[in-house]
Amino acid sequence: MLTLIFFLCKKKRPRDDKALPAPIGLVLGIHQSTFTYGELARATNKFSEANLLGEGGFGFVYKGILNNGNEVAVKQLK
């Protein structure tokens, strides 16, 4: 089972407490919420050790690049 984690590299702006939060897909600019194993394997170069970012208690985390150029972190659960 794989879990996809997105990291954003943006400056934080002051928060308006009265504003409603936007849906996460809109914030990330993503319209697809699920990915096939093949798409994730391509993004991480078949879960290459060169793309290994780290290991936690539940599995390995790999750096990946989607077809649209967005960088993502993909956690492969044990």
| Residue 36 belongs to domain with CATH number | 3.30.200.20
pTM: 0.59
Quick check: is 18 in a domain?
no
Question: Would the pLDDT of 50 be above 90?
Answer: yes
The pLDDT value given to residue 15 = 58
The mean pLDDT of 58-72, rounded to a whole number, is 91
Quick check: is 14 in a domain?
no
Quick check: is 67 in a domain?
yes
Quick check: is 31 in a domain?
yes
Q: 51: how many CB neighbours lie within 10 A of its CB?
A: 18
Q: Tell me how many domains the chain contains.
A: 1
The pLDDT value given to residue 56 = 86
Distances (CA, A) of 29 to 6, 13, 24: 11, 18, 8
Parent domain of 69: 2-8+23-77
Quick check: is 28 in a domain?
yes
What's the rounded Cα separation, in Å, for the pair 63 and 65? 7
